[in-house]
């Protein structure tokens, strides 16, 4: 009958070992899952920053090229030129949001004070996708340029 006691004794040890292994597995697996989730978020965050910078850089290029091609234009003509240049530059990237749509529909403003140009594009959005997640970011583009179309600073 000592066998019965031995069996329970062994069972307890086995259960303890099983618990240890289970905890250890949970420790390793949760670490890996956490890493994957954080990589996913990092990808989304990098993506959104990337497309925001893309929108700003494209705006700078479009404005400069328009001004170079139309140096003595009135603001209205310059606006038309910007629309024309942006249509040429539009690569139809789906992640780039509504920037080119804004240019196409003339939903932007240009101001000129002395030799300083201001380009304002309100409510631009860009989006970033990663596996099952998607982020959309809204922002306003506001840039200062000199008379040569060189970017000076953001507003």
Partner 1 sequence: MKNKKASIGKIVSFPFVLIIVVVIMTAFMFAAITYSSFKEPSYQKEALSSMPEKSILLKKVYLPLENKETLVLDVIILRIEDEITLDVLSKSLSDLAKKENYCYFLNYQKDGIVQSNTLRNEQSIPKRRENSLFIQDKLTKNEFLLDDKKITIESYFGACP
Give the binding site for partner 1 (CB under 8 A): 1-2, 4-6, 8-9, 12-13, 16-17, 20, 23-24, 27, 35, 42, 46-47, 49-50, 52-54, 57-58, 61, 64-65, 89, 91-95
Q: Take residue 128 and report the two structure tokens written for it.
A: 């970033």
* DSSP code, position 148: T
Nearer to partner 1, 34 or 155 (CB): 34
- Least distance in Å: CB of 93 to partner 1? 5
Nearest partner of 133 among 51, 33, 43, judged by Cα = 43
Nearer to partner 1, 74 or 104 (CB): 104
Nearer to partner 1, 8 or 133 (CB): 8
Q: Take residue 74 and report the two structure tokens written for it.
A: 């009135």
- Least distance in Å: CB of 67 to partner 1? 12
Bridge partners, 153 (sequence order): 144
- Least distance in Å: CB of 58 to partner 1? 7
Nearer to partner 1, 31 or 147 (CB): 31
3-state secondary structure of 8: helix
Burial of 119 (0-12, 13-18, 19+ CB in 10 A): buried
């Amino acid at each position: 009958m000592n066998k019965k006691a031995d069996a329970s004794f062994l069972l307890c040890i086995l259960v303890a070992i099983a618990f240890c292994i289970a905890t250890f597995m949970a420790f390793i697996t949760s670490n890996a899952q956490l890493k994957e989730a954080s990589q996913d978020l990092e990808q989304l965050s990098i993506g959104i920053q990337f497309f925001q910078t893309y929108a700003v850089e494209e705006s700078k290029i479009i404005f400069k090229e328009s001004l170079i091609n139309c140096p003595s234009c009135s603001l209205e003509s310059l606006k038309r030129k910007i629309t024309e240049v942006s249509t040429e530059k539009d690569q139809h990237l789906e992640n780039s949001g509504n920037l080119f749509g804004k240019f196409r529909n003339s939903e932007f403003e240009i101001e000129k004070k002395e030799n300083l140009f201001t380009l304002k594009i309100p409510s631009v959005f860009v989006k970033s996708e990663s596996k099952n997640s998607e982020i959309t970011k809204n922002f306003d583009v506001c840039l200062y340029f000199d008379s040569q179309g060189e970017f000076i600073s953001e507003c």
